[in-house]
A and B are shown apart, each in its own frame.
Chain A
Amino acid sequence: MHTWKQSRLCWNSPRVQSIVTGALVMIFLLLSGSQNASALPAFARKYGLRCSACHETWPILNNFGLKFRDNGYQLMNDRDAPIWQNPGYWPVTFRITPVWHRVSQLSNEDTYAGGVATGTPNDALARVTSSGFDLSGLDFHTGGTLEKNISFFVLPSSDPTAAFHFETVMARFDNIFGSPWLNIKMGRFELNNLLSEKRMVQLTGNGGIYQTYHFIPIGDGNIFGQLGDNQLGMEYVGHSYNDRTRVSAALLSSSDGNVNLVTGANSYSTYATFDQGIDLGRLGVDRFGAYVFAGQAATYYPTSGGTPIPGSGIQNKGFSRVGFTGQFYFGPHFDLNVVTQHGTDNSWFGQGYGNAINPTNGSAGPPLNNNVPGSLLPTGAQTPTWNGYTFEARYVYSPQLIFIGEYEAERMSQQANGPGCNTSAGPDCWSPSAGTFTAGPSPSNLGNINNYDFLIRYNPFMTSRAGMALQLEYSLFHQIGTGPTSPVTASSVNINTNELMFALDFAF
């Protein structure tokens, strides 16, 4: 990778600095002279609306966009059914984001002297800083109506190396019996989160997800309670005519969206939400709501030749995520979005059982996390519980210029390894910081997270044909006790990762 250290040789040249500065000025001049234009292409083209009609800034939905989505991507007029569309209409949007970013994070390094390794591997702690131009993956958003009140959405998505998977695949039936309270969909879809991770504009590695939606206690083997991941299942959504009141309930495979019944073959979860919009006059339509994600997931996969058999999971154990959501507008320019969460996992998950098929998912767990017959919980193992908070404030200067500040806090309230772990009565607790089964409780703040993200997003034009945003973003991620191992204390240090990014986020 072309690192910042290498690039500084060029950067030191006054000529290069002049060229870069001149280029920025030229772009600025071009953009200053630009005329009206922004938009979410596929649906905007269909209905002839600007992106800003549905999006606070694309892709964040405003209340009108939320209603459009809840109606199955329909405006509920005569133009919804595809039979009314121009035959040349192609309901596809492409999105990809070239970026320049600079990432700084801690790592273990080997040390050398005279060209020869000294000490043991990873015997030093170092901060590695990388910078350069990069790419996001490519998204093919395709969605719309198959017939009035029957719609679909398919999203093949790639990573930056063009390895594709299906992020979203679903078909839905809306306004069944003419009632907006009866809408059903099935497939792989985003959960009905009021603060949507799939529609966030943050792009950095840690800022680009909501930590609250993905938090897993250190050493926990349950990857199946992540609200931010698209899930496989069926969902019922009901809403009032003007979308002020919304309810949903989903039945999901406890697979975290993984296909082929590898996990979650015999376990299910439910996700239910409620939110209510209140018209507060000049403030706008504010919303508050609540959600429950509760389910079970397997901890034991029978083995064949010692290898867990995919799809065979049994010995289900429970987990839950509950919380409140709020979307508070303070006039047309400022809004604050809040999500809280109280999470609980069964003690078996806390000891690293649960994800025997794909143990690389999630955080580091015990090497053998299969609850084979006769397994015992270590003495002192207890239910890991935690609380999470997400605050996202947005200042919308205009539909074309938005400022966002985000803060997230994840706080363990009870570690899986309780004080009783310090006993010889049974198996020792798994110590994720040491990477072995050792006696002793975990520090109470192990795994706690503070995450900050700030960005400016500017759409130089706004139409219903294509959209582009210039984005400058800074993210700072801090997690306690989960970083590389300190050569001094032989335990994990805190993670401190920061990232600066400039992106051209465009869709057409």
Chain B
Amino acid sequence: MKNFKTVYLFSAILSFILTAGYTTARAQDVPDVGPHPAGKPVEMESHIGNLTGHSEAAKLPYRRYCAGCHGDLGDGQGENTPWLDPKPRNFTLATFKCRSTPTGTLPLDSDLYNSVGRGFTNSNMPIWNALSNQDRANLVAIIKTFSPRWQKEKAGDPIKVPSEPPVTIESISHGKALFTKLECWKCHGPEGKGDGPSASTLTDSQDNPIRPYNFAAGTNDSRFKCGSTNEDIYKIFMTGVDGTPMPSFADTIQPNDAWDLVHFLRVLQVHRHGKENDVLKAAGGNIPPYVEKQAEAPSSQPEVRAAGGGK
């Protein structure tokens, strides 16, 4: 009789947990906040090198890792959003900051894949490189389900990135002149500290306050939002940071001028040890005024290669 009572109680508790768990877990397989998407969810794929990601396979990882900030619908309205600054990306707009593609176009799958693995150093977005490559590819695919743009448009063609010329004090000097001419200082400040006269007025495309990058902050390992290499910096101002006031300068400056600007921006990272700072140090620590050169005969074109392409 005693055993019967035990079995009764055990069965009741077991049934309760199983039923409650299954029901609630199933219920949360579909978004339970905000407007529900109309119709059947579209399945998407991503292609990064040899990897093919499937949105269906990302439902569980998305809920586990991403939905708390980006929301079940990918609209950037997760339960943590009110406490985050900057705000999480709203995937329904399909506007992405870090791209290899021209401004206004959709990014490559590899751009999103690299962003997931790299994280964003000055936000709450972690470095998700502990996940398997397949999981990251699947997450890229599910990101593409949140906006109809991915069904109507293809990703933009990646911009061409010429090979980097040598760092010289002249290139740094020219970069500084461009920094002034293009009025980068208005937002980033004369010393790149993010304290320009316009800095306090900036908002992103969703009217959230946004701060310009402070080059002088951080230590030797400080990273830019979209990567740590010179090529990554080059791409930032040749593609623009969509959704922010940072425009694309692809139509404004020539590729070699852009590299000079990269070299100058590196110098603004005063805590970083790099070749640019070595060159500046060898020149006595002062950037000489830039002297406009006479027009020269066209030289051989630098090697040009496609950006992006994934890993």
Contacts and interface: CB of A to CB of B under 8 A. Distances in A.
Given A32-B23, A36-B79, A243 B132 contact: no
Given A4-B2, A464-B68, A400 B131 contact: no
B68 A279 contact: no
B247 interface: no
A36 B23 contact: no
A467 to B, nearest CB: 13
A63 B17 contact: no
Interface stretch (A43-51, A360-368, A375-383, A441-449): A43-51
B16 A64 contact: no
A284 B16 contact: no
Given A31-B24, A77-B122, A470-B20, 16 more contacts: A8-B1, A24-B16, A34-B24, A35-B32, A47-B124, A64-B126, A64-B128, A76-B119, A77-B125, A129-B2, A279-B132, A279-B133, A282-B134, A399-B64, A401-B22, A401-B25
13 contacts: A8-B2, A28-B19, A35-B32, A36-B72, A48-B124, A52-B63, A64-B126, A75-B127, A78-B123, A178-B221, A332-B60, A458-B21, A460-B24
A53 B65 contact: yes
A458 B67 contact: no
Q: Which applies to chain A's interface (DSSP): helix, strand, loop or mixed?
A: mixed
A64 B65 contact: yes
Interface string A465-508: 00000101000000000000000000000000000101000000
Interface of A: 4-5, 8, 11, 20-21, 24, 27-28, 31-32, 34-37, 47-50, 52-53, 63-64, 66-67, 75-79, 102, 129, 178, 241-243, 279-282, 284-285, 332-333, 397-401, 456, 458, 460, 463-464, 470, 472, 500, 502
Contact of A285 (B61, B64, B120, B132): B132
Interface of B: 1-2, 5-6, 10, 12-14, 16-25, 27-29, 32-33, 57, 60-61, 63-65, 67-69, 72, 79-80, 83-84, 119-135, 218, 220-221
A404 to B, nearest CB: 13
A241 B221 CA distance: 13
A52 B64 contact: yes
A184 B78 CA distance: 36
A34 B27 CA distance: 9
Contact of B17 (A241, A285, A464, A470): A470
Given A78-B121, A458-B20, A50 B133 contact: no
Contacts of A502: 13
A71 to B, nearest CB: 9
Contacts of B135: 284
A357 B29 CA distance: 56
B24 A24 contact: no
B159 to A, nearest CB: 27
A399 B61 CA distance: 9
A28 B79 CA distance: 24
Given A31-B24, A77-B119, A285-B132, A50 B17 contact: no
Contacts of A76: 119, 127
Nearest to B15: A24
A285 B130 contact: yes
B42 to A, nearest CB: 21
Given A24-B12, A28-B19, A76-B127, A332 B61 contact: yes
Given A31-B24, A48-B68, A63 B130 contact: yes
B130 A242 contact: yes
Contacts of A35: 32-33
B68 A21 contact: no
A4 B29 CA distance: 40
- The B interface is mostly helix, strand or loop, or mixed, namely helix
Contacts of A500: 6, 10
Given A24-B12, A242-B130, A36 B32 contact: yes
Query: Which of B57, B127, B128, B221 has the most C-beta atoms of chain A within 10 angstroms of its own C-beta?
Result: B127
B68 A28 contact: no
A472 B18 CA distance: 10
Nearest to A34: B24
Contacts of A456: 14, 17-18, 21
B33 A397 contact: no
Given A75-B126, A464-B68, A27 B134 contact: no
A48 B69 contact: yes
A494 to B, nearest CB: 21
A76 B19 CA distance: 40
B220 A178 contact: yes
A271 to B, nearest CB: 24
Given A32-B27, A75-B126, A178-B220, A472 B64 contact: no
Contacts of A129: 2
A352 to B, nearest CB: 39
B20 A28 contact: yes
A13 to B, nearest CB: 12
Contacts of A398: 25, 28-29, 60, 63
A53 B64 contact: yes
Nearest to B80: A48
A24 B12 CA distance: 8
A49 B121 CA distance: 15
Contacts of A21: 12
Given A77-B122, A398-B28, A27 B132 contact: no
Nearest to B221: A178
Contacts of B72: 36
Contact of B64 (A32, A50, A464): A50
Nearest to A400: B25
Nearest to A277: B130
B140 to A, nearest CB: 15
A48 B81 CA distance: 8
Closest 5 CB pairs of A and B: A48-B80, A458-B21, A50-B68, A242-B129, A401-B21
Contacts of A460: 20, 24
Most chain B CB inside 10 Å of its own CB: which residue of A49, A279, A470, A500: A49
Contact of A458 (B17, B27, B79): B17
A66 B24 CA distance: 28
Contacts of B13: 24, 472, 502
A77 B123 contact: yes
A181 to B, nearest CB: 14
B132 A281 contact: yes
Given A27-B16, A48-B69, A52-B64, A284 B119 contact: no
Nearest to A31: B20
Contacts of A102: 6
Contact of A32 (B6, B20, B134): B20
A496 to B, nearest CB: 16
Contacts of B57: 282, 332
Given A78-B122, A460-B24, A284 B132 contact: yes
A8 B8 CA distance: 12
A443 B147 CA distance: 70
A442 B20 CA distance: 50
A24 B16 CA distance: 7
B32 A285 contact: no
B124 A79 contact: yes
